[in-house]
Amino acid sequence: MLVALAATSMVALAFLIPLAIVVKSSAYNRALDEAEKQANALTPALLITRKPQEVRQAIRSTRYGGQQRLAVHLSAPAGTYGTSHITAKDLEEAQKLATASTVERPDGVAYLQPLATSSNGIAIVEAFVPHEQLTRGVVGTWWVLAGVAVGLVAGSVLVADRLGARAVKATRALAEGARRMGQGDLSARVPVKGPPEVAEAGKAFNAMAERVRLLLAAEREVVADLSHRLRTPLTALLLDADTLGQGPGADRVREAVQGLEREVDEIIKAARSGLQPDDGGTDASAVVRDRLVFWSALADDQERRWTVRGADRPALVPLGRNDLAAALDALLGNVFRYTPEGTRFAVALVHQADLVALVVEDAGPGIADAEGAVRRGTSGGGSTGLGLDIARRAAERTGGSLHVDRGPLGGARVQLRLRRI
């Protein structure tokens, strides 16, 4: 709209300014032409007679004479007849020129027409044109031209607005579709309309969205199928655990196998449901207490001293319980896997106004490449390299982050910063 307004205004001004000047000049010339006609109307009478009464009668017979705008200047001793608007100097200069001329006066323009009379004298016919006559119709015409210009500019702006609205509407629909898809709505599609380029972008977006939906659906099916295939060896492992008899060791094995089976069930359920986030929220303190009950048995067997802080206050985070438990298990599993037996560790919940930090640190050798360890699939200890990545993605799902550095105990410290509800 601004471009159309600027361009049309410049074009309109480029035409209107010369037209306005032409209109004013035409009105001026038209008024002088009329004055010339009025002056020439006295020619027949002045060629015939110089009698004062007849000259005055001839002047009164014209339209300008009746308006006291016409005068005849005869050579001496006759003098001037009618109403004159010029000075003696102006008259003298007109007599020297012997051609038609104009004299600018404060209240108008005097048209002077020399004429040779029958007595071989020179008569000067004066036709006066006031300023209002010189500009008659000019202002009205200017207003008409201005109205036409405003109409043209308004029309161009309206057309530009409609054309722009068509493009903007299609672009907004494309942005809304991208926003919905970014929020996890894989059914988001955009109407293929608007200018050709935007319509092509909408068509490409819909094709991309459909491709992403198919890929994610295929990935979920693969995850569900692989998880389901784990049921058979888990069942066999559970049967073998029953042959261990009774005792604390056998009970831990059976409990671990049953927990693993439950995790497989949750993976299958999450894969089938499209991995939708749990918006109900989870108490991070309860998850910490629950998982430390599980890991404390193994810590006692390995003579690891451990402490927990901050788990006595509720901390609601926008993350599913199983996801948070998996993230904490990944962090604690790294402690047991990559530090010698007897190495102590600590778990803490640091409560802040808008987030809660789940901190796991140990007194082991630490992580040499802390930045590289967070990258998915990277591991310096021969594992899958997915543990820290699982925890990182869980934190980012809440709007938080994961940080790895060296803690006060001398080993690795992993901070899982989760946004609070």
* Same domain for 213 and 198: yes
- ∠ at Cα 60 (56, 63), nearest 5°? 145
Supply the DSSP symbol for 123: E
- Sign of the C-alpha dihedral, residues 304, 305, 310, 314? positive
Tens of pLDDT, residues 215-228: 887 877 777 677 66
58 has a pLDDT exceeding 50: yes
Full-model pTM: 0.45
Q: Of 276, 308, 336, which residue sits at a domain end? A: 276
Mean pLDDT of 351-377: 81
- Spatial separation of the C-alpha atoms in residues 142 and 365, rounded to whole Å: 90
* Same domain for 257 and 170: no
Mean pLDDT of 176-190: 86
- Spatial separation of the C-alpha atoms in residues 312 and 307, rounded to whole Å: 13
* Stronger pLDDT, 121 or 255, i.e. the higher one: 255
Q: Domain of 128: which CATH number?
A: 3.30.450.160
Q: How many angstroms from the chain centroid is the CA of residue 388?
A: 38
Average the pLDDT over each of 162-171, 372-381, 410-419 and give the range with the smallest value.
372-381
* Same domain for 301 and 410: yes
* Same domain for 283 and 399: yes
Token pair 């038209």: residue: 30
What letter represents residue 212's amino acid? V
292 has a pLDDT exceeding 70: yes
Token pair 């004062």: residue: 52
H-helix or E-strand containing 113?
strand 108-116
31 has a pLDDT exceeding 50: yes
pLDDT at position 275 is: 46
Mean pLDDT of 157-161: 89
> Please, which pLDDT band fits residue 277 given cuts at 50, 70 and 90?
very low
Average the pLDDT over each of 75-79, 195-199, 268-272, 286-290 and give the range with the smallest value.
268-272
Q: How many domains would you assign to the chain?
A: 4
Domain that residue 253 falls in: 230-276
Mean pLDDT of 359-382: 71
Please give the share of the chain, as a percent, with pLDDT higher than 70.
90
Q: Tell me the β-bridge partners of 416.
A: 358, 402
- Spatial separation of the C-alpha atoms in residues 176 and 324, rounded to whole Å: 31
pLDDT at position 33 is: 92
Q: Of 276, 309, 339, which residue sits at a domain end? A: 276
> Please, which pLDDT band fits residue 385 given cuts at 50, 70 and 90?
low
* Same domain for 235 and 210: no
What letter represents residue 275's amino acid? L
> Please, which pLDDT band fits residue 204 given cuts at 50, 70 and 90?
very high
Q: Of 136, 155, 187, which residue sits at a domain end? A: 136
Which string of DSSP letters, residue by residue, matches 39-94?
A: HHTTHHHHHH---HHHHHHHHHTSHHHHTT-EEEEETTTTEEEE---S-HHHHHHH
* Same domain for 391 and 311: yes
* Same domain for 351 and 406: yes
HEC per residue, 301-347: HCCCCEEEECCCCCCEECCCHHHHHHHHHHHHHHHHHHCCCCCCEEE
pLDDT at position 19 is: 92
77 upstream amide cis, omega within 30 of 0: yes
Tens of pLDDT, residues 66-119: 888 899 988 767 788 888 889 888 888 888 887 899 999 988 999 998 887 655
> Please, which pLDDT band fits residue 381 given cuts at 50, 70 and 90?
low
Average the pLDDT over each of 104-113, 170-179, 251-260, 266-275 and give the range with the smallest value.
266-275
**Pair of tokens at residue 126:** 């004066």
* Same domain for 183 and 115: no
Among residues 48, 29, 46, 64, which one has the least CA distance to residue 114? 46
Tens of pLDDT, residues 324-339: 998 999 999 999 998 9
* Same domain for 150 and 29: no
* Same domain for 324 and 242: no
* Same domain for 235 and 224: no
* Same domain for 165 and 147: yes
* Stronger pLDDT, 158 or 377, i.e. the higher one: 158
- Spatial separation of the C-alpha atoms in residues 281 and 421, rounded to whole Å: 7
Tens of pLDDT, residues 238-254: 777 777 777 777 777 77
pLDDT at position 400 is: 93
